[in-house]
Structure formats: structure tokens, C-alpha cells
Amino acid sequence: MRILSGVQPTGNLHIGNYLGAIRQFVALQNDSANEGYFFVADLHAMTTIRSGSELRENSFKVAADYIALGLDPKRSVLYRQSDVAEVPELAWMLSTVTPMGLLQRGHSYKDKVSRGITPNHGLFAYPVLMAADILIVRADKVPVGRDQKQHLEMTRDIAAAFNQAYGEPILKVPEELILPDVAVVPGIDGQKMSKSYGNTLEIFAPEGELKRRVMSIVTDSTPVSDPKPTRGNTVYTLLKLFTPEAQWPGTRRLFTEGGTGYGEMKKRLLGLVLDTFRDARARREELERDRAYVEEVLRDGRERAATVIGQVMAHCRRVCGLGWV
């Protein structure tokens, strides 16, 4: 089963990215029944990043982060979106059969506009480029969170419209793969952890910065001696996500019995986060010193994906009447 997912290089990876997706990607990759395709979505990121040097650096960071967190170039195909010139070509083909109304209903576009982001055609047509990313490698399934289902539904609609327009089942219509055990991770302010909110705990931040962020988690004013609330408590939720199951009863008693302050609990959380990502952080430092290796991985991924990409594009060009037969 071929699985595809991408990530925009718009910021540093945080624990919400890992618990919400990357951990599951690694598990899927390690299942021999699966063939994982993972890409750095740098073309998508152009809708918000206007600095070439920033985008290039962010793209390296994302690729290195993925490798450090367990995506294995020997088991998965890792590549950079902009290295596949056929993606924007297919996106144009798909745009000619995509109804305006479909794009106007896009939740992601409307959400960004509502948050004050200046709209542009790239944001509006984001679902078409995303459809090209998926369809060009004949992905069987695309991992999505429950709040991302509309994106894949739009891809399915676009693929069906293209197939119907040209009277052939040219493009494989992908299925959704709802990730199991997807954690909703709160940020340091209690909202959902998101780069957009600036409330993240970055996996590869310097230890001092990570400590500062953990210690700044918003808490209530319950006295040290009193039991602490558990519902809606960010420190409680994060501790539960990182504490080994066998140790959780003891950790939970810190809240239910009282006598422990939030400062002590935050120090415990920091230790757990550092322990969880200790090997990944060390590997990430190695990759920072060997940037040529990361670039080699991305080039190799592009070559490994070339066969299926070439087959899809040859078929699409033929039915559309582009080039010589």
C-alpha cells in the first residue's frame, strides 16, 4: 500500500507534529506492507514565505527533522516537492476541471482569510496543488487527521472530475487513512499546539529554550498543598502524553492528592520530553554537520519516485493531447 504525506517548511517541528503525525508515519513505514512517500512541500510554503534563503533553510530543517525522528531513507521515499517539475504541470491540468465552487468551500482558505492573512491565488488554489502531489505518485492512502478530511475529499473530487472529463480511469482516486492514536496536544497557552499560535514546544530547540517554554506553560492559581484540577489542565495533559504507562498512577497522584507545585511538575515534564527525544536530538545534530547527506537523500528520493511519476504524466499528457504521441 502506497502512503503519501507532506509537510510545509514554515517553521520548526514541535511535539504536536510528532504525536499527531510523525510517530504514526514511522510506524506505517516500519510495516513491510507499506510503501511510504514523504515530501517537503516547499511550493505550498511560497504562499506565505517571501524569502528564498528562509525557505531553502526551512526545507533542509524539515528533511533533517524527519530523518532524525525516524523516517528511514532506505524504507521510505523522501523528496522535495519543487524537485518534481511534473507536480505544477499536473496541477495546471487538474485546475482546468476543478469547479470554482469547490475551492470557495475550502475550510483552510476561509480560516486563513478570517485570521487576517492576505488572500492570494496560491492559497485559493492550494487544494489543486495538493491533489497533484497525491495523484502524481498514485497514492493508495493519505493519512489525515479528523480535521483534515475535507482536503482529501477535494482531491478525490478533482481526480474523479479529471477521469470523467477524459473518459478514462487515468488517476487513482485515493482513500483516507485516519491515523490511530492521534493526540490533540495543547500548547503552552492551553490552545491546540500550533505554529500559528506561537505556543509550541519545539523538539529540536536548544535545551535552555525548551526549558523556558515548558516553565512558561499557563497554569491555574491552586495552592501547592491543594489537589490540582485535571480537566483542561495543560501540564496534566502533557505529562499524561509523555509519562510511561507504568509510572502514570504515581504521576496522577501528584494532582489528585496535592502537595506538589506546578513548578515541580513542569520540571518533571521537561525531563520526560528530553528523554523521549534524546536520540533524535543527537541524530539531528549529526545531520546539521552533514548537510550534503540530507541533500543526497532528497535527490535519491526524487529518482526513486521518477518511474511512477513518469507513467502518470505520460498518460495524462496523452489523453489531454499535449506533445507528440
What strands, in cross-sheet order, belong to the sheet with 175-178? 76-80, 35-40, 2-7, 141-144, 175-178
Query: Is 192 a residue of the active site?
Result: yes
The C-alpha atoms of residue 88 and residue 4 are separated, in whole angstroms, by 17
For residue 288, CA distances in Å to 58, 68, 98, 283 come to 12, 10, 41, 9
**Which pLDDT tens digits describe the chain residue by residue (325 residues)?**
999 999 999 989 999 999 988 999 999 999 999 999 999 999 999 998 999 999 999 999 999 999 999 999 999 999 999 999 999 999 999 999 999 999 988 887 888 788 888 888 998 999 999 999 999 999 999 998 766 788 899 999 999 999 999 999 999 999 999 876 677 899 999 999 998 899 999 999 999 999 999 999 999 999 999 999 999 999 999 999 999 999 999 999 999 999 999 999 999 999 999 999 999 999 999 999 999 999 999 999 999 999 999 999 999 999 999 987 6
Question: Among 112, 141, 228, 266, which one carries the catalytic annotation?
Answer: 112
Calpha distance 280→183 (Å, rounded): 20
**What residues are paired with 143 via a beta bridge?**
177
CA 93, CA 98: separation in Å to the nearest integer?
9
pLDDT value, residue 325: 60
Single out the catalytic residue among 172, 195, 211, 267.
195
Alpha helices (H) in 30-95, listed in sequence order: 42-45, 52-68, 86-95
112 labelled catalytic: yes
Report the pLDDT value the prediction gives residue 26, as an integer from 0 to 100. Answer: 96
- CB neighbour list of residue 32: distance below 8 Å, 6 or more residues apart: none
Cα dist. 135→121, 228, 235 in Å? 21, 50, 41
Cβ atoms of residues 47 and 10 within 8 Å? no
Distance CA 183, CA 227 (A): 25
Residues of the chain by 3-state class (helix, strand, coil), percent to 5: 60, 10, 35
**Per-residue pLDDT at 81:** 98
Q: What local confidence, expressed as pLDDT, does residue 273 receive?
A: 99
- Retrieve residue 47's grid coordinates: 504562499
Identify the pLDDT of residue 147: 64
The residue from 149, 172, 192, 228 that is catalytic is 192
CB 300 within 8 A of CB 73: yes
Q: 267 catalytic, yes or no? A: no
Angle at 145 between CA 139 and CA 150, to 5 degrees: 75
Structural domains in the chain, CATH included, are: 2-184+291-320 (3.40.50.620), 205-276 (1.10.240.10)
Q: What is the pLDDT of residue 109?
A: 81
